[in-house]
Structure 1
Amino acid sequence: MSITGIRWAGPRALLVKLSDLAAVLAFHSRLLAEPLPGQLDAIAAAATVLLKFGTHAEALAARTAVGHVDLHEMPQHSPRQVTIEVVYDGEDLAEVGMLTGLGADGVVAAHTGQLWTAAFGGFAPGFAYLLGENHSLDVPRRSSPRTAVPAGSVALGGTFSAVYPRQSPGGWQLIGRTTAVLWDLERESPALVRPGDTVRYVAVREAVELTPPQRPAAEEVAGPALVVGSPGLQSLIQDLGRPGLGDLGVSAAGAVDQQSARQANRLVGNQPGAAVVETVLGGLSVKADGDQVLAIAGAVAPLEILDASGATVRRAAMCSPFALLDGETLGLGAPSLGARSYLAVRGGLDVQPVLGSRSSDSMSGIGPAPLSAGMRLPVGKAPLFQMVGAPEESTLRLGTAAAELRVTLGPRDDWFDSGSLKSLAGQDWITTEQSNRIGVRLAPGGGRALERNGVPERNCVPERGAGELPSEGAVAGSLQVPPSGHPVLFLADHPVTGGYPVIAVVVPEDIPTAAQLPPGHSVRFTIVDPATLEPLELAATGVVPEGTQP
């Protein structure tokens, strides 16, 4: 068991490659028990462990320290055997039958005829990567991931099988569905399948519809509040997120543009982590129950205040605190610049935290429900010794021209040819309509898609017969590239692990700008050094200058 390599995954994270799965599990267990200085998260995968840190300096120090980590295996919990009943009628069952040469019936027999072991978690809460006893069902992922895979879908991807705990994007081959609930916060152990457990799939005929766990109904609380008139396109309660739970498959979530959320809280005199409303592309309206002090930051939108009769009484300014008196309604129009606006109220939104955060995670469904008409948002007590702020300049760094985003190459840039590295930084990319809090999907702005270079054997062992990257951890800002060559820029609710190579990572300082990209906006990437964030010049061959990777 040994460490075989270390690569940057953005300026504040390291992707540590290990010799085998036993080394991965031992290394991961050790770092959970004895975290390195500044370590925020450690995410195990098939052949790697992703380590996230608070600063570049901490990540740099860790790069030296990981070589001295004791890889003696740590004790694990006692494994259990879990039985999962499956209706085998998946959309990709026939195709998997052709890819394996087994036919549909043979796929079912092979899937139910072997014992599967949970190697590690990731991607989403309750999602467990299961290894079989043989390679009869090794199949490649889809060339382009689905934007929505139904909850309970039973799938194959490379050497692994898994069940999607809830509806989410995904690129695995779907062979069936189950009613088993993979993640339930009401259970003592929320995950049905934990690393080390074994799973036996059993074929059943009944097509029982899966009913996901319901969120508990919000209790009506008397006292000051904001009452939702219209939620607009999408409005969610967010704070600064719940980092550090990647090992459970729980993404950090939180405000996508944390810079704007912090500014809105600062303006009303709140702590930076107070809960706010994040709303997309305008349309939100809220009514004050009791006199309130509000501020709006982020996407630039017209702010109109109406009285109880619906007549306009005044307009409010962006990035400036203002009063919303009892019975008055604030309405946000469509933004003229940016995509996400943040509404802060003095005292913060006093909703029930889940796993230590009031953030709503659209990937996992953890946290407060999306805002809906009539919903009452309780307002907390105003801080006693913190003054309301003065008007500020907007922190929004998005204009009408192409957005400039700095990226550091890797950790999987050598999966791409030199032309793709040039195309990444040498052309405009266009944001598509299929973008959300999970990620921004990009299309070439008249140029070429990103083409893979084949499987670089020095980097990793590809999944048997698939020519693909084994699933591994990813950070916010990652530019993950499916075989279509159209990158996806991961945002706050991104899956904890993914199976497509990451060509580059947007630096953390530029993620707020990425979060504000509306559909149809142009993006241009600048490749920078992970230590200095200074621009780098690619050589004529497209080879990265020495020293840009650890």
Structure 2
Amino acid sequence: MSALTPARSAEGGPAPARTLRWTGTRGFLVECPDLADVMRLHAHLTARPERGQRQLIAAARTVLVTFTSEAAAEHAAARLSTLVPDAHDAGSGRTVEVGVVYDGEDLAAVGELTGLGADGVIRAHSEAEWFAAFGGFAPGFMYCTADAPPFDVPRRDSPRTAVPAGAVAVAGEFSAVYPRVSPGGWQLLGRTAQPMWDLSREQPALLAPGDRVRYVPVRASATLSAPAESEAGADAHDAADAYDAAAPTTDAAAPGLVVADPGLLSLPQDLGRSGLGDLGVVASGSADRDAARQANRLVGNGPAEAVVETVLGGLALTARGDQVLALAGAEATGTVTAPDGAAHPVAARSPFALLDGHTLTVDEPTAGLRTYVALRGGIDLPQTLGSRAADTLSGLGPGPLTAGQALPRGVALEDRGAGVVMVGDPEPALRPTPAAGDVAVLRVVPGPRDDWFGDAGLARLSTQDWEVSQQTDRIGVRLTAPDGGAPLERVRHGELASEGAVRGALQVPPSGEPVLFLADHPVTGGYPVIGVVAREDLGLAAQLPPGAKVRFVLHPVPAARPDQESPA
């Protein structure tokens, strides 16, 4: 069967009815009639990606597909309107056995809920033919289902603050294994000694979508072991504790920089690790990518070199050897102090020399939130999954900078055979940068779930100025309704099955106050997304300080785009 065939099923009947729901300008959710169709479509697009396809995330009822450009997304949308998955793709997974000690805290409760008793639950769970449907929540967490699910059980009324790594759990018709210590509300049936996520393996995730899974009862004498990266901390939201504890150390004597003071929060960042959403890994990377690119450009680096992202100033870096640096992003200057105490200022967005033993201190910004410090040659820290980015949600990559930490310099472009590469000329600011009290204007493309709020919801979103709360980090910007305003109200009720999410999504929890997803957002989310901030405005969104205000302007839908409700 060719990659694109007339809209007929493998048996010759009509193709399943699907709907496209655009999420921003470079991607869309494909709504499928059931999980089986999700798996077939996902397998097909994995084996035969569309031109410019960047990310592919399966969920319970949808497949999120994103692209490198608007043109590629619109081209693929037209092609997908006639796509029938090749039946051979869906059965290409492996069979993976997971040994389980069935001694979970909720085993008896699940036995009562299902009427099977504890022994019956063990038998039903271990004899079912499970398969890995889609990832999400955390790296290595895989939602497994069965053609005939053995039971359908609710989540716990009160989620646990820390579910142990290796816990085998069920919720609804799904089964999964927690790959690391994390909060969770699933019912615990037992535990496994097999690490679900191990960066020392060629494929870190034990399971991938399409794999068949057999839960095999083992003796209770089995002991639980976990990969080093899952032992770093109990709370996935704690940026100081959640990072890969097994990351190799760096050469403390190498030319580069030494952290004299890390400031409030300083993280190594690059352009992130895209294409791993199916494994529960978000791209992460610099929150304001445009500013990170500008800082690298000023010192003569390529755009993907690692930089330091620091929040609200206070970062101090001492040169080991003569170095060239630049600041970009927030409106922040710097102060260079010599060993004898003499000091002089350095400007933002202009390269400068930092001589051996001299220290740069990043001043508190007068506007904006995040300042990027680029080092000529780049910062040569170890890579995790091909990136030096610190992901504060999953804990992947290097941790926050600490006093005394060495940041070795990488190899400059000219030393890689690129010829002489000059530092850049001073540049203007990329955009007006907001301070507390200022109003920032962000363009937003409605969807994919704007129908949950109706025309009145979109009108409210775009006619009142939302306030940036103190609860703002790299995961998302939490917005509150202004005095005299009101939160968003749903016109549809019920629960939305978790589905893939993108950077810039405006997810609306039951409070009605939106959360604007940034670089470390969850791979999937279960609250409706009323709109997605235009890609060109994501850097501005990353610079919103607490106390700033946001005015959303609805971004027109391109005329060439297929209607969101058209069948695909």
State the TM bucket, normalised to the shorter chain. Answer: 0.7 to 0.9
Residue by residue over 1:377-401, the C-alpha shift from the partner in whole angstroms, topping out at 9 and shown as x without a partner, is 1112222222111111122433231
Pick aligned residue for 1:388 from 420, 423, 443: 423
Residue aligning to 2:298: 267
2:105 equivalent to 1:67: no
- Relative to structure 1, the CA distance from residue 289 to residue 130 in structure 2 (aligned partners, 3 Å threshold; closer, same or farther) is same
2:368 equivalent to 1:338: yes
Pick aligned residue for 1:193 from 187, 204, 207: 207
Residue aligning to 1:434: 471
Residue by residue over 1:67-121, the C-alpha shift from the partner in whole angstroms, topping out at 9 and shown as x without a partner, is 233312204122223134476458xx99x98xx9839997997588424542112
2:159 equivalent to 1:128: no
Pick aligned residue for 1:5 from 19, 22, 36: 19
Pick aligned residue for 1:234 from 244, 265, 279: 265
- Relative to structure 1, the CA distance from residue 108 to residue 347 in structure 2 (aligned partners, 3 Å threshold; closer, same or farther) is farther
Residue aligning to 2:417: none
**Separation of aligned partners in 1, 2:440 and 2:523:** 26
Residue by residue over 1:38-61, the C-alpha shift from the partner in whole angstroms, topping out at 9 and shown as x without a partner, is 111111111111111111111111
Instruction: Classify the secondary structure of the residue corresponding to 2:95.
Output: coil
**Separation of aligned partners in 1, 2:299 and 2:264:** 25
Residue aligning to 2:344: 314
Is the contact made by 1:430 and 1:523 (CA closer than 8 Å) also made in structure 2?
A: yes
Residue aligning to 2:433: 398
AA paired with 1:271? G
Is the contact made by 1:442 and 1:488 (CA closer than 8 Å) also made in structure 2?
A: yes
Shift of 1:247: 2.4
Shift of 1:149: 7.4
Is the contact made by 2:267 and 2:308 (CA closer than 8 Å) also made in structure 1?
A: yes
Q: CA RMSD in A?
A: 3.3
Pick aligned residue for 2:95 from 66, 74, 79: 79
Residue aligning to 1:55: 69
Normalised TM-score (structure 1): 0.85
Is the contact made by 1:17 and 1:48 (CA closer than 8 Å) also made in structure 2?
A: yes
- Relative to structure 1, the CA distance from residue 413 to residue 383 in structure 2 (aligned partners, 3 Å threshold; closer, same or farther) is same
Residue aligning to 1:463: none
AA paired with 1:381? V
Is the contact made by 2:248 and 2:382 (CA closer than 8 Å) also made in structure 1?
A: no
Residue aligning to 2:310: 279
Instruction: Classify the secondary structure of the residue corresponding to 2:457.
Output: helix
Is the contact made by 2:101 and 2:222 (CA closer than 8 Å) also made in structure 1?
A: no
Pick aligned residue for 1:507 from 512, 526, 534: 534
1:347-358 counterparts in 2 under 5 A?
347-358=377-388
Percent of aligned positions that are identical: 48
AA paired with 2:93? H
Instruction: Classify the secondary structure of the residue corresponding to 2:330.
Output: strand
Runs of 4 or more, structure 1, over 6 Å off, are 103-109, 140-143, 145-150, 201-211
Is the contact made by 1:407 and 1:505 (CA closer than 8 Å) also made in structure 2?
A: yes
**Separation of aligned partners in 2, 1:359 and 1:231:** 17
Residue aligning to 1:454: 492
AA paired with 2:397? G
2:304 equivalent to 1:304: no
**Separation of aligned partners in 1, 2:115 and 2:392:** 34
Residue by residue over 1:388-426, the C-alpha shift from the partner in whole angstroms, topping out at 9 and shown as x without a partner, is 111111224332312211111111111224433222112
Is the contact made by 2:476 and 2:516 (CA closer than 8 Å) also made in structure 1?
A: yes
Shift of 1:211: 7.2
Unpaired runs of at least 5, structure 1: 456-466, 534-545
Residue aligning to 1:139: 154
**Separation of aligned partners in 2, 1:175 and 1:273:** 42
**Separation of aligned partners in 2, 1:427 and 1:177:** 49
Shift of 1:267: 0.8
**Separation of aligned partners in 2, 1:442 and 1:268:** 36
1:96-245 counterparts in 2 under 5 A?
102=113, 110=121, 113-114=124-125, 115=128, 116-131=130-145, 133-134=148-149, 136-139=151-154, 158-166=172-180, 172-173=185-186, 175=188, 178=191, 180=193, 181-195=195-209, 196-198=211-213, 200=215, 212-213=228-229, 214-220=245-251, 222-245=253-276
Count of matched residue positions in the alignment of Structure 1 and Structure 2:
519
- Relative to structure 1, the CA distance from residue 471 to residue 157 in structure 2 (aligned partners, 3 Å threshold; closer, same or farther) is farther
